[in-house]
Structure 1
Amino acid sequence: MSAKAARLLLELFRMLDFHCKMCLNDLQFCTFMRFASDMSRHKIYQVFDMLDVDRSGEMDFDEFYLMTSILVAQKDGDEKQGSSSTIHAPSST
């Protein structure tokens, strides 16, 4: 991921972190993922639990960065294979 993309990702993370705690709880993460992917709520919570490596019940930026990197790699792989993507780009309206 480029430095510019990482900065944009940090900006997105800060917008999602409306409690200004530099972490997202499961509800904030689920809300974002329901918008950004076609995963079921159950699957999103499984992903949250898997990526909450420190078991804090919250996702810090490093964990969010890891999740985003995995999703981008999956999307890139799907596009190379001609498959449909599970990530949706936010609209710019």
Structure 2
Amino acid sequence: MTKDECKQAVIEIIADIAPDEDLGNLKHDVRLRDQLQLDSMDFLDIVMELRKRHGIEVPESDYMQLASLDSCAEYLTPKFTALGK
């Protein structure tokens, strides 16, 4: 999975969790919580969906790696690759 595909996978999860959010103009290098109305429960839902949909475990100590779309791609792309996706 490429970094762009990884970002798209995260956007799809956010779209399901927060369907009222406008995801069309997301800045990839800005914290998601600064751009969207995501609370801590929404963020946990993102982590849970990554595990449920893609089999990716994100330990709590790594949550900060998922702050922006760019950081999500940096952190998650090797995990997707390791799973053969």
Please report the TM-score for the alignment, with normalisation by the length of structure 2.
0.47
Q: Which has the higher strand share?
A: 1
If asked which structure has higher relative contact order (CA below 8 Å, sep 6+), I would say 2
